[in-house]
């Protein structure tokens, strides 16, 4: 996965992004089934618990995610560690843990809210229920400071020449700015991916997690 990094150092940095929610045993992987299979077959995926090599191990349950363009069917791979024998669900970077909507949809809502759009209008904008969108925004605002710090740390790690962050006018706006900076830096240094795919990867799928804080870059 993302194996085309320019240096061993960056790959090591990237590996640390592949963070697991301990209670969920999730690893975020590229949204490319064939690539995930090849990575598993060639031993390129690391166990989030012990850094051992993951081998293919059946599939997680089939599920549908609400993507921007309609339902997206997922049947995530499971990997089993050759070292500690734990199994992990390999979630594609189009999603985050425990959300039925694709991360791109959630991201669009967060960006609109950060620009001052009220939650009802945001819900209409992204075509999702009021209660769902209000839940995303509450969660994102409650941990906006933590997200800003986390993603800014990643941004500076990936781009040491990055200038200081520009204040965005609100904690949520600062978090969105930091996510964008980290995603731009990661796309340049590791591989091009959509901003919100990087948001999922660099938070280990825990962008809007209730129970866990995302991993730090070092």
List contacts with Zn ion (CB under 5 A): 47, 49-50, 52, 81, 83-84
Residue closer to Zn ion (CB basis): 83 or 116: 83
CB 20, min distance to Zn ion, A: 10
**Closest distance of CB 23 from Zn ion, Å:** 16
DSSP 134: H
Q: Where are the alpha helices (DSSP H) in the chain?
A: 8-17, 33-41, 103-114, 119-126, 130-142, 144-158, 171-189, 195-202
Least separation in angstroms between residue 96's CB and Zn ion is 23
From the CB of 174, what's the least distance to Zn ion, in Å? 36
Q: Return the number of the residue (41 or 84) whose C-beta is nearest Zn ion.
A: 84
Residue 10 to residue 14: CA distance in whole angstroms: 6
Identify whether the C-beta of residue 77 lies closer than 8 Å to the C-beta of residue 40.
yes
Nearer to Zn ion, 26 or 94 (CB): 26
CB atoms within 10 A of CB 130: 12
Which CB sits closer to Zn ion, 86 or 141? 86
Task: Find out whether 95 and 105 touch, Cβ atoms under 8 Å.
Answer: no
Min CB(88)–Zn ion separation in Å: 8
Q: What token pair was written down for 78?
A: 């499971």
CA quadruple 24, 11, 199, 101: dihedral sign? negative
Cβ 19 to Zn ion, closest distance in Å? 14
Which CB sits closer to Zn ion, 81 or 126? 81
Q: Which residue, 48 or 76, has its beta carbon nearer to Zn ion?
A: 48
Taking a C-beta distance cutoff of 8 angstroms, is the pair 3, 39 a contact?
Answer: yes
For strand 63-67 and strand 70-74, is the pairing parallel, antiparallel, or unpaired?
Answer: antiparallel
């Amino acid at each position: 996965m993302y194996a085309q990094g320019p240096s061993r150092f960056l790959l090591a940095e990237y590996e640390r992004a592949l963070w697991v929610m301990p209670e969920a045993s999730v690893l975020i992987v590229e949204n490319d089934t064939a690539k995930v299979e090849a990575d598993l077959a060639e031993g390129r995926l690391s166990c989030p618990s012990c850094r051992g090599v993951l081998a293919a191990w059946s599939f997680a349950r089939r599920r549908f995610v609400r993507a921007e363009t309609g339902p997206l069917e997922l049947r995530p791979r499971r990997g089993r560690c050759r070292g500690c024998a734990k199994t992990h669900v390999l979630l594609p970077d189009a999603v985050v843990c425990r959300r039925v909507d694709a991360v791109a949809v959630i991201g669009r809502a967060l960006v609109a809210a950060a620009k001052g759009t009220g939650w009802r209008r945001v819900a209409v904008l992204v075509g999702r229920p009021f209660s769902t969108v209000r839940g995303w925004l509450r969660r994102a605002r409650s941990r906006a400071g933590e997200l800003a710090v986390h993603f800014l740390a990643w941004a500076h790690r990936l781009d040491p020449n990055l200038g200081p962050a520009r204040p965005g006018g609100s904690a949520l706006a600062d978090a969105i700015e930091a996510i964008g900076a980290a995603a731009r830096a990661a796309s340049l240094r590791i591989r091009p991916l959509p901003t919100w795919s990087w948001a999922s990867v660099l938070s280990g799928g825990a962008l809007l997690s209730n129970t866990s804080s995302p991993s730090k870059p070092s």
